[in-house]
Structure 1
Amino acid sequence: MRSILKTLFLLLLFWFLPLIGARAQSGISSALAGTVTDSSGALIPHATVTATDVSTKAVRTGQTDASGHYLLSQINPGTYQVAVTSSGFGVASSEATPVGVGRTITLNFTLSVSSASESVEVTAQQGLLSLDNPNTTTTLEAKTINSLPNPGQDLTFVAQFAQGALMNTAGSSNDAKAAGGYGNVEFNGLPATSNGYILDGYDTNDPWLGLNIGLSTNLVIGLDAVQEATVNTNSYAVDQGRYGAAQVNYFTKSGGSRFHGDVYEVWNGSLLNAQNYFLHANDSPGNIAKKPRSTVNEFGVSVSGPILPQKLFFFAHYEGIRIALPVVSQVTAPSPVYQQYVLQRLAVGGVDPITGVTLSAQPAEIPLYRSMFALYSNTGGTPVPVSTCPFDENGTLLPAPAAGTLLNGSGCANQRQASLNNKDSEDLIVLKMDQTINEKNSVWYRFQQDTGLQAAYTDPINPIFNAFSPQPQRTLVLGYTHLFTPNLVNQINPGASWYASVFEPNNFASVQQQFPIVLAAGTSNLPFTTIGGNDQTYPQGRKVTQWQVNDNLIWTLHRHTLKFGINTRRVDVSNYDLGQGTVPLVTVNDLAQFTYGAAYTATQSFPVRTRERVANGNFEFYAMDSYKPSARLTLTAGMRVTWNTNVVNDQGLFARSAGSFLDMQHSNAQPLNQAILTGIHNLFPATPLFIYQPRVSIAYQVEPHTAVHAGFGVFSDIIPAQIADLASTNAPYAPSFVGGLAGQVGGVAIFPGVPGSAVDALASANKALQTSFSTGAPPCTGIASGDAVCPLAVGLNTFPTGTLKTPLYYQYSAGVEQQVGGKGAVRVDFVGTRGLHEPYQVELNGYQNVCAGCFSPYAYSHPLDQRFGSVNEFRTDANSSYAGLQTSYTQQIAGLTLRGNYTLSHCLDEVSNGGLLSFSSQGILSPLAGELSRSYGSCDYDVRHNISAFGLYQIPFHSHQALLRQMLSGWAFSETAFFHTGLPFTILSQPYTANGNGVFQSSGPQFARRVPGVPLYQRSAVRGVTVAGTRQWINPDAFASVVDPSTGACTGGDSVANCQFGDSGRNTVRGPHFTDSDIYITKTLKLHEGVTFRFDAQMFNAFNHANFALPSNVEAGVPGSLIPARFGTLQSTISPPTGLLGVGLGGDSSPRMIAFQGRIEF
């Protein structure tokens, strides 16, 4: 019945499609509004209002209504001159007035009784006071955009200057496409992945990840092609949707009645850059780190003009980037003496002094270890202590330790700073045509192509592990506006795009032959850098086609402005993510396991296909009424209704349970092919038919220079299509197995092809599972008494029973604005948000085998369902709240333009950033099973104080002397500044490893214990903890691990009381504050009539302030016993999320960088 209703509903919608539309200022258009009065203040009805685009000479005409109000809706952004005429009155005209994208500019006119024309200069009120709605809107036009320092010339960077914006500086090193984590900017306690970036009305977010999409450089380039950028938050107008936090609208430049253009180049070289703060931290004789070479060339050309005067215009733009990437990476490698020791010990085996487990000899691994050691290009550096290392820093064998203690020698590992290089490139072409068909019809078209080769990963050990990704994109968008009458205007905005983003190393098959696994340290007990690069994540990526249609209608009816619209989108994806995990990932947890060739875990997946086709869609329609009972009061009410389709697998290769894992039958006798549904097309068991989002607001002009406003709205958020990976990777289509000492399928040896290989055990397990699944055989055949899980236990991803709950955000605000002088304003807002049904993932099949009652909430000895390994359930019942006092100030005084924002806020949640993509390198996305409330704490983006500001100053100089004018005039100075207090993170315990026991199949946070009365922070070095190349931040005596790293058992002995997760909680400590300032010094020379040359000296992080990333080692030790090296230390620096060296490519943009720009404009 529900599917029939959906079908009927869609048929009705498409039948009435011509009658459905949006508001006056949609994502691609703007509006002019105001009132017309006579000198006594009486309203003048039926006056003729004519707006002329200064550039194209296009004309829009309207009339005032009975109340003297006019509205010219859905005009293209640009600069307009407005004239008003009425019988018996003189002509009044405005000065040329910029009309920003998505904004309504208010121009009020007073007419005098006269038969002669007169000119009245009118100042646009919008931007000083928000007289029509309580939106928090920040608009930057092309001149300001090009004059402000912008590292990387990135389009998303302009959003950092909006009120309430928090720059993401969380120091993530993941594939975030942002150096600070997933999402470049965060607003109002809402996910940084919930911002919509809309270019010419078309969604430019990556529909797979939900992020701002950057291609080969991960920068969103094309800044020089943008005419305006507008950031909208707290938007209670219902035309904003799909993304719950903010909407950033950009509009591409258009051609005009005259030919214009520019040519520019930006250049930066390593000679001009400061060195990384930690570059020489690990220097030793013969191992002196060198500043890596880097160059950046960014160049472009634009030209625009008329094709047919007043009818057809063009704008064309090209830009390219060439980057020689400097990568500084900390590498910890086995020392030569330790390598020889390993080759000797592999032949005899030994006992792990931490776990007490006897590790058998692995003589067949000796040649494989030799090949692995040969991959290290450099093993020198500063010696660092490693638990159980038997050598001192000189390579001398240490005496046997005292009873109950462990060796902690410094002769097994050397740490150094590696200076590396790689190359990246990107090219962009933009072509836009604007056509005025007649006075009632106009249309524009934009085609865009972006191509490049991304240096996706630069390996610090050997370049054979470097990864690359060719990333082409093509987009075609158009906008067509039709005037039925001056008071009834429709605009349709269709578009389509395609892009590819697939990652893997060059000659991947050859790389696998040289080193067929990825070997990584599983805990802080082993400091060695991962060898094998990121090969366990390749091949992966996607090819995406997106279709979108917006249709917007506005009807001005007396004092009501009625607005209607639809916004529909379909996304088709060729998903290559099934290739992730096909390269085995092997972990070792301590030095003994590395020494004796024993895998703690070995993990591999076995997909039946490495590429699948998935699709989803969004259909939204909305209606709104803006009512103006008087010129000073605006009341707005509207409703947005959303239908998000289920995610569909075209090939029927989804597999999942019928509902929640907790609702399944947990019986070892039930075959897996009865527990897991196969051939499934729909990802979720059920999705909601409609999501209703009502919104209301009020704006009132109390005095001529004072306005108050308030609003409340409900905003939905989409769940990114990447969630499809959960059902695609279930058995039998892509089962994953875990072997090794802690795995269920057996095997011990690290490498494949040797006796007792943990990797080979994985392949054998997959063959057995496929046979068992297809025949319906009992899944636990061969399980022995005391075994925790069945021999062929597989991982499983599940979804809640019933209809999926969609993320919703309640947003509310109240504020006041005060105009300051003629060109200044101050605004103060209280902003609150409440998040409901927010996504997260939780492991439901965990267990522990330490003791009955230990490590609650985990079951003892075996999991809830022995047929499965890790069971990850996607849920949507997390919550969040935010309260902030936000202040903004703008002022223009002669040649000086200032803008500043300050926010005092607090944010609390149970999981941050939408639950799928971490905002922070230390973000926790999965709570303990059944204990979601235990993760309630400060959001990953909770900062108390946040400041952003910029200033532009055209330095005045006047002289009658031509030479002096040429030398001393035309100078300008601009600066941006950012500051926020530290971001929060969590202190954890060491994992339990004694006697091979521990907590298994879990991902929840294992909190440490807080030591009462001890200060949380310590700046002075701590012996054995603060090693060379680090700075102490967290006091190691302030936290105690539940597990003693020297024994792998619970601190104080194994018991129910001792073996419980600690009370330190989530996000209870904070990292260092962040400060950054960039400067442009500009000189403009007039070369010829209409031709100028501009030269910039650009300084990023101008004062070379070292901003430190969050500590990477957050697993505490035991004060008075053993505290792992580097715990709570600062080891790397961070920068803004965009930079000259691209984003997320490993290039170091944190020190001061100086670039020069030359630009010719005509």
Structure 2
Amino acid sequence: MTFVPRADAQVLYGSVTGTVTDQSGASVPKAHLVVVNRATRVTREADADDTGHYLIVDLPPGDYDLTVKVSGFKPLTQTNLRVTANTVTNADASLQVGTMSQQVTVEASTVSLQTEKTDIHTELSEKAILDMPLNQYRNYQTLINLVPGATNGAFAGGLQNAIADTPERSLSFNINGTNRNNNNTRVDGATDVFVWLPHHAVYVPPAETIQEVNISTNNFDAEQGMAGGAAITVITKSGSNQFHGVLFEYHEDQALRARQFFETSAVQPRKGKSIFNDLGGTLGGPVIKDKLFFFGSWDGLFERDNRSATANNLQTLPTAALRLGDFTGTGTTIYDPSTGNPNGTGRTPFANQAAIPINPIAAKILALIPPTNVAGAGQTSNFFSSATQRLNRNNFDGKVDWNRTSKHTIFAKYSAMKSVFHGEPSLGKAIGDCNCDGGLGDFHDFVQLVTVGHTLTLSPTLVVDGNVGFTRMSEYGQTPDFGTNIGSAVLGIPGTNNGSDLRSSGFPFFAISGYADLGNPEGWNPAFRNDWSFTTSHNVRWSHGRHQVSAGTDIVHHHLNHWQPELGAGPRGEFDFGGGATALNGGAAPNQYNALAQFELGLAGELGVSAGGAVGVGRSEQFIKATAREWQFGWFIGDRYRVTPKLTVTLGLRYEYYPLMTRNGAFRFDRYDFTTNNVLLGGIGGNPGNLGVTTSKRLFAPRIGLAYQINNDTVVRAGFGISVDPLPLARPLRGFYPLTVGSNFVGANSFAPFSSLSPLASPLPGGPIPVGIPSVCCPNISGGTLPLPAQALERTVGPGELKRGYIESWNLVVERKLPANFLVSVGYVGTQTVHQFADLNINASLPGTGKLGQPLNCKTANFTTNPPTCVVPGFGRTSDTLLFQGWLSANYHSLQVALTRQFSKGLMVKGAYTYSKAINWTDDDGWAGLAWNDPNILRRNRAVAGFNTPQIFQLAYVYELPVGKGKPWANGGGAATKILSDWQVSGIFSAIHGQPFSLTASSASLNAVGQRQTPNQVGPVKKLGGIGTGQPFYDPTAFAAVSATAVYGNVGRNTLYGPGSVNLDFSLFRTFKFTERFDLQLRADAANFFNSPHFNNPNGSRSSGNFLLITGAKNDERQFRLGVRVAF
């Protein structure tokens, strides 16, 4: 008797199938089969058909004993038959002639072929999760790196969002070239998605609570929907007939941590305080034997971790001379913006380059900046700062399983996470980026997950199951400058903060190109959120002859409720300084010194500035709570047809429907009318609720697959399927005007500032400019139609159908058993994304046309006059206006190799190699903007994806050392045997190619809105491999700033690759067995065992003094972790 796990259309449950034969291979009809769960005694029965074939469906994951009985043959029992979620376990039984009293018992094999289905999936077992070295937060998602086709979003860590938002430290991945939002995680059936950040799971079950994880990545079964990248199923542990539990604690501190590459003793003589404790316990057992079981856990994580600023480990601050206005040592000429012409021509330099005038408000801010502290660093990368981030997090999990009858099982689960986080600024009173993983100030998060499910066996061939799930996430946070209107009351800048609303209090953001951020750069902060999701799924399965037919429905409902005015500049205000105001039009391109001089003059917001959030000058203010209500519906039918014992065909059809999201308030929906410059509100003033916007009702997703078993050791599989992008529209359309006004103001051209920090003594050549930030007043929604302010950032859908993207996926795979219980698969895997969601800035202008070239600003302009004039006015609209639609594409092709050995004879191995290429127009993160919105060069955006990683190799293992009692060596007894017994090692080795990055240049000479400027390549690109100040990674002389006006540079998107990484995470542990049911494990884990530095990509800005230099590394230096675990 053998068994073979393989994917099935049962996401939460597994099945057992096979054929009963005699010793000659002839089928034995009408055999009776009984399968019994070894932990809970859940029992299922079935009879083989006339061909000897049988199928038992909807088995809860676990270890089973299978008994086969038929008159004239010896009963056969197979023990430890492993059934996992989303799999079919093939247990073919070969019976011996004999009497019913002659019992035969065999042990299940650990080598498995996937012989009946064509999806590509990876299983993570409880042993792998507990024994392999997980990341600092002991997150099971660490092991998703072992899935072929998975690209970690930030490949040496993957913690892509602020810890304040994701205290669970959820990881995100691009799977098979699809965007991160296409992944769908379910925990015991409940949709586990952060509605606002859908590339993250909102709840991450602690490692000690997980029974298994199943990750499907290509050509899913019809039951698996609302996922285009990976369908991830997490099954948590249940109680059993025996009480069992765990107590554990894991500890890290700075004494066990190596220095980060740029954290030299000269910069920081003593390592900062870093203490990390993860402790807790689990307990499970029977309430009523064989009937009712419980499982509960607590996991407490307490972090005091020293961190550097997130932008770079080394930052650039002005030197003492520069803070006094002395630019004589920079090699840059600073021009007086009060001279010359409005377009920046004809300017004259300041007479005294050693004493540039300093605006009084700029002087106040400069006085708050700490001095540079990196000896010998010069003008760039001259400041290091670190501080301790604090996180207290508690996870609680409880689960109850009830065997109501022999045919009906029910489970219920409740999980909760509460956390408090604090992050410190890197520049003290001058604020700056957070010395943390994201989140200045204090944040409180509360996450809950509830799910209830059941399985009902109506007959041996008819089974139904269903579940209902609910997740909720609430968050509130405030910045360290909360409560004081620093912009308006302390600095005296008009238009900053909002005196009547403390949520807008704090320090405005001052972004100087080439320098560390000043003020509070977190425009998304503070945040007040309350989001939840509801899930219900119901399925029926009917086995008939060679067919297993399944059908069902899947419903998801999302709610989003936010106060978070983060559009563009954020609630306190932002001022960007790119350097154009102190440069000469037609002279050298603006650089960081021009930008600093511009800041010291108090002039902000020239057209095309790329500093900070590239808003120019602006502030965001929220008037109405951002809400979204969304439904997602799915229905499916599928058939697994066993054509012959060697050939299985899988057919399925899924239909999904995504109605248009609605608001919860005075109006149901909102969109911009391009013909009138008005925002329309659905359900008010006679407007239809949907405002003429529809969604597709044609989202049919067929799935087809073939699996042919060549022999007992080899199977060939091929499949094709379509799946739908499940992105909640709440992410891209959360809250624009009139909910939130994100006002962006820029100057008339790339050399003209928009405003000053304080009144100027005399006007500039172009005339008077505003002081501070102009106000945008509160909207009046009563009429259902209101004009859109000219400077308000807008993202909108158009009338007609909003096209939702879908993913076509295919694979051709050969899988073969190898000696020593290894299994290898080699295959071609591809995907094609159709109608990828993306923005198009319809208010972008062409090179040389500036603001007057924006279609919504001026219909017809005369560019022959100086300055240019508008002949036929438009709406006067100068802010970005983004049309959101499914209109782009992406594709992915790969060679994928997987090597697996289930744990047997002391060794487990799981390896993956991927050779691939992913191409897209832009990286989709819930919204996706183009580098170039110029219709003449749109295809220039098409290039390798930002996450494209040509080669990824991962190899993980768990190995019992072959020494000591019961092992080949040192087994003779005595002290040596006692000391050397029961040791294990585990590790994860990775070798990963670098990821691409783009080069940018000052856009002053381009004079275009919504277009990226790049440098010109003027020579061969040479990789020098340098690291640190003065040692470029690529030869910077290969690139030059564009000298001509209104001309794009010739360098495209994502043309260079950053450094790759090689890493080994390693564990050493020993288990002391005091009794059969009580053991103690001591372990030491080492993240990045060899302390290999993993560097950030080089600086890609041609106008920066750090151009093509690597001045930062990821915070993943070697860290030892000590642990103790008691199990009973």
TM-score (norm 1): 0.82
- Does structure 1 retain, via aligned residues, the 8 Å contact 2:388–2:424? no
Q: 1:878 aligns with which of 888, 893, 899?
A: 888
Aligned residue for 1:615?
A: 629
Give the deviation of 1:1001 after TM superposition: 3.4
> Which of 477-486 and 939-948 deviates more?
939-948
Aligned residue for 1:952?
A: 958
Q: 2:828 aligns with which of 827, 830, 834?
A: 830
- Does structure 1 retain, via aligned residues, the 8 Å contact 2:256–2:1119? yes
Aligned residue for 2:510?
A: 520
Distance across 2 between alignment mates of 1:897 and 1:888: 14
Superposed CA offset, 1:705-760 (max 9, x none): 1111100101111223343546x312585252415676999862226999999786
Aligned residue for 1:1145?
A: none
Distance across 1 between alignment mates of 2:916 and 2:337: 57
For 2:18, the aligned partner's letter is G
Give the deviation of 1:1020 after TM superposition: 5.0
Distance across 2 between alignment mates of 1:181 and 1:1066: 30
Distance across 1 between alignment mates of 2:853 and 2:881: 18
Distance across 2 between alignment mates of 1:310 and 1:338: 77
Query: Is 2:986 the partner of 1:974?
Result: yes
Aligned residue for 1:336?
A: 320
1:787-798 correspondence runs (5 A): 792-798=790-796
Aligned residue for 1:983?
A: 995
SS for the counterpart of 1:686 is strand
Aligned residue for 2:443?
A: 469
1:195-274 correspondence runs (5 A): 195-213=183-201, 220-274=204-258
Distance across 2 between alignment mates of 1:983 and 1:185: 14
Distance across 1 between alignment mates of 2:369 and 2:115: 65
Distance change >3 Å, CA 33–CA 445, structure 1 → 2: same
Aligned residue for 1:17?
A: none
Aligned residue for 1:401?
A: none
Q: 1:424 aligns with which of 388, 391, 398?
A: 391
Query: Is 2:260 the partner of 1:276?
Result: yes
Aligned residue for 1:164?
A: 149
**Ranges in structure 1 where 5+ consecutive residues have no aligned partner:** 1-22, 386-409, 780-790, 919-923, 1043-1050, 1118-1123, 1135-1147
1:16-35 correspondence runs (5 A): 25-35=9-19
Q: 2:525 aligns with which of 527, 530, 538?
A: 538
**Ranges in structure 2 where 5+ consecutive residues have no aligned partner:** 1-6, 328-332, 433-439, 492-505, 579-594, 607-615, 966-970
Aligned residue for 2:298?
A: 318
For 2:596, the aligned partner's letter is L
Superposed CA offset, 1:475-497 (max 9, x none): 11011111110111111110112
Distance change >3 Å, CA 733–CA 825, structure 1 → 2: closer
Distance across 2 between alignment mates of 1:300 and 1:917: 41
SS for the counterpart of 1:510 is coil
Aligned residue for 1:298?
A: 278
For 2:996, the aligned partner's letter is P
Give the deviation of 1:676 after TM superposition: 11
Give the deviation of 1:121 after TM superposition: 5.2
Distance change >3 Å, CA 459–CA 777, structure 1 → 2: same
Distance across 2 between alignment mates of 1:954 and 1:422: 37
- Does structure 1 retain, via aligned residues, the 8 Å contact 2:152–2:172? yes
Distance across 2 between alignment mates of 1:367 and 1:611: 37
Distance across 2 between alignment mates of 1:772 and 1:746: 33
- Does structure 2 retain, via aligned residues, the 8 Å contact 1:658–1:685? no
Q: 1:1084 aligns with which of 1051, 1067, 1071?
A: 1071
SS for the counterpart of 1:534 is coil
SS for the counterpart of 1:847 is coil
SS for the counterpart of 2:130 is helix
Distance across 1 between alignment mates of 2:981 and 2:400: 37
Distance change >3 Å, CA 607–CA 753, structure 1 → 2: farther
Aligned residue for 1:185?
A: 173
Aligned residue for 1:583?
A: 572
Query: Is 2:372 the partner of 1:372?
Result: no
For 2:716, the aligned partner's letter is V
RMSD: 3.8
- Does structure 1 retain, via aligned residues, the 8 Å contact 2:1026–2:1034? no
For 1:250, the aligned partner's letter is V
Give the deviation of 1:414 after TM superposition: 7.4
Aligned residue for 1:1066?
A: 1053
Q: 1:1155 aligns with which of 1103, 1121, 1124?
A: 1121
Distance change >3 Å, CA 549–CA 127, structure 1 → 2: farther
- Does structure 2 retain, via aligned residues, the 8 Å contact 1:854–1:1060? no
1:1031-1070 correspondence runs (5 A): 1031-1042=1031-1042, 1051=1043, 1053-1054=1044-1045, 1059-1070=1046-1057
Distance across 2 between alignment mates of 1:674 and 1:614: 17
Distance across 1 between alignment mates of 2:943 and 2:531: 37
Aligned residue for 1:992?
A: 1004
Q: 1:932 aligns with which of 938, 941, 947?
A: 938
Distance across 1 between alignment mates of 2:521 and 2:630: 29
SS for the counterpart of 1:999 is coil
Distance across 1 between alignment mates of 2:949 and 2:732: 33
For 2:571, the aligned partner's letter is T
Distance across 2 between alignment mates of 1:675 and 1:74: 48
Distance across 1 between alignment mates of 2:928 and 2:787: 37
Give the deviation of 1:463 after TM superposition: 8.6
Give the deviation of 1:848 after TM superposition: 5.8
> Which of 252-261 and 585-594 deviates more?
585-594
SS for the counterpart of 1:1080 is strand
Superposed CA offset, 1:894-917 (max 9, x none): 212222211122222212245627
For 2:1012, the aligned partner's letter is P
Q: 2:605 aligns with which of 587, 597, 600?
A: 600
Aligned residue for 2:287?
A: 307
Aligned residue for 2:503?
A: none
Q: 2:1100 aligns with which of 1114, 1119, 1122?
A: 1114
- Does structure 1 retain, via aligned residues, the 8 Å contact 2:844–2:933? no
Distance across 2 between alignment mates of 1:755 and 1:762: 19
Aligned residue for 2:1029?
A: 1027
Distance change >3 Å, CA 482–CA 876, structure 1 → 2: same
Aligned residue for 2:927?
A: 916
Distance across 1 between alignment mates of 2:781 and 2:906: 77
SS for the counterpart of 2:180 is coil
Q: 2:811 aligns with which of 810, 813, 827?
A: 813
> Which of 86-95 and 158-167 deviates more?
158-167
Give the deviation of 1:237 after TM superposition: 1.0
Superposed CA offset, 1:241-277 (max 9, x none): 1110111211010111111111000000111111010
Give the deviation of 1:761 after TM superposition: 5.6
For 1:614, the aligned partner's letter is A
Distance change >3 Å, CA 1067–CA 125, structure 1 → 2: farther
> Which of 52-61 and 135-144 deviates more?
135-144
Aligned residue for 2:909?
A: 898
- Alignment size in residue pairs: 1029
Q: Identity of paired residues, percent?
A: 21
Q: 1:689 aligns with which of 697, 719, 743?
A: 697
- Does structure 2 retain, via aligned residues, the 8 Å contact 1:236–1:711? no
Distance across 2 between alignment mates of 1:754 and 1:471: 49
Distance across 2 between alignment mates of 1:874 and 1:289: 51
Distance across 1 between alignment mates of 2:359 and 2:852: 40
Superposed CA offset, 1:313-338 (max 9, x none): 11111101111121123333333343
Distance across 2 between alignment mates of 1:592 and 1:463: 18
Distance across 2 between alignment mates of 1:332 and 1:914: 29
Aligned residue for 1:400?
A: none
